[in-house]
Structure 1
Amino acid sequence: MFWFLLIAMVVVIAAVTLAVVGGGESDVLPEAAPQHLTDPLPLTRPVARADIEELRLPVAARGYRMGDVDDVLGRLGAELAERDARIAHLEAALAGAQATAADRPGAPGMFDEPPADRPGDLPDGSGERGEDR
């Protein structure tokens, strides 16, 4: 039994060695070209949700290419900062418009609710509600 295991081990080692070393240059895989970001985020317009969903970062030997990831995250961070500043500007303008409308007495504000119906404001001029009759 010992001789059988020894011969089997030698045959396996020889087969593995021939598979790794032997075989010639034709069996060697060609060098793969490094992947690059083929469809980056658009430069001429703001980034949309569809742009992010379609984005595919190239894979390197140990994960994603750090330069590409840094570029994408930097661009998204700048876009978010721009949008936050625009929202803050619009909210400030809205608050200013509301304050201006509130300062003018007798002028209905742009965002005021309509006045509630009063009994004297009925269309027939009677001043009575239907359930009071």
Structure 2
Amino acid sequence: MFLFLLIAMVVVVGAVTLAVIGGGDSGALPETAPEQLVDPLPITRPVNRADVEELRLPVALRGYRMADVDDALGRLAAELAERDERIAELESALAGARTETGSGADPFTKHGEEPGQ
């Protein structure tokens, strides 16, 4: 009985090996191109929240493709730096407008009106 199971196991392993390797060119597994980033972040406009949520990075043998991750993170870092600069410019302009009005009041509220009304 043991000899029969051993022979059966060798036959099954051999059949699986031949199926994977293939008996000729027609049975071989086809070569596939590596997975690429299909929908990158938009170049023509600033990145928004929906773009980041929809971003799907392709998976490689050991995790994500580093080049695609580096590109996406680099783009997001550049966008955040631009936004930080713009926020700093607007805050300094607002501070300058407040000092010009004199009292430090918000220049966007009506006179005699409390902020938040």
Select which of 4, 7, 18 maps to 1:10.
7
Bigger radius of gyration among the two:
1
Secondary structure of the 1:24 match is coil
Post-superposition offset of 1:65: 0.8
- Using the TM superposition, give the Cα deviation of residue 115 of structure 1 relative to its aligned residue in structure 2, in angstroms: 6.1
| Structure 1 residues not aligned, in runs of 5+ | 117-133
Q: Paired residues, what number?
A: 110
Give the Cα separation in 2 of the matches to 1:81 and 1:101.
30
| Residue pair 1:102, 1:109 contacting (<8 A) in 2 also | no
For residue 89 of structure 1, report the CA deviation from its aligned partner: 0.8
What TM-score do the two structures reach when normalised by structure 2? 0.79
Q: Report the CA distance between 1:24 and its aligned residue.
A: 2.2
CA RMSD of aligned residues (A): 2.4
The residue number in structure 2 matching 1:131 is none
Partner of 1:97: 97
1:78-93 paired onto structure 2 within 5 Å: 78-93=78-93
Consecutive unaligned residues of structure 2, counting only runs of 5 or more, are none
In structure 1, how many angstroms separate the alpha carbons of the residues matched to 2:34 and 2:57?
12
- 1:128 equivalent in structure 2: none
Structure 2 CA distance for aligned equivalents of residues 91 and 109 of structure 1: 12
* Alignment deviations for residues 70-95 of structure 1 (CA, whole Å, 9 cap, x no partner): 00000000100110111111011101
After superposition, what is the alpha-carbon deviation per residue over 1:17-55, rounded to whole angstroms, capped at 9, x for unaligned?
122125524443211111111221111111111111222
Q: Which whole-Å CA distance do the structure 1 matches of 2:106 and 2:12 have between them?
A: 89
Once the two structures are aligned, what percentage of the paired residues are identical? 56
CA distance in 1: counterparts of 2:61 and 2:14, whole angstroms: 26
Instruction: Note the alpha carbon deviations across 1:86-109, whole angstroms, 9 max, x for none.
Output: 111101110110111016xxxx86
- Letter of the 2:42 partner, please give it: P
Task: Tell me the TM-score normalised to structure 1 length.
Answer: 0.71
Instruction: Give the distance between the partners of 2:72 and 2:92, measured in 1 at CA.
Output: 30
- Whole-Å Cα distance in 2 between the matches of residues 51 and 68 of structure 1? 15
Partner of 2:69: 69
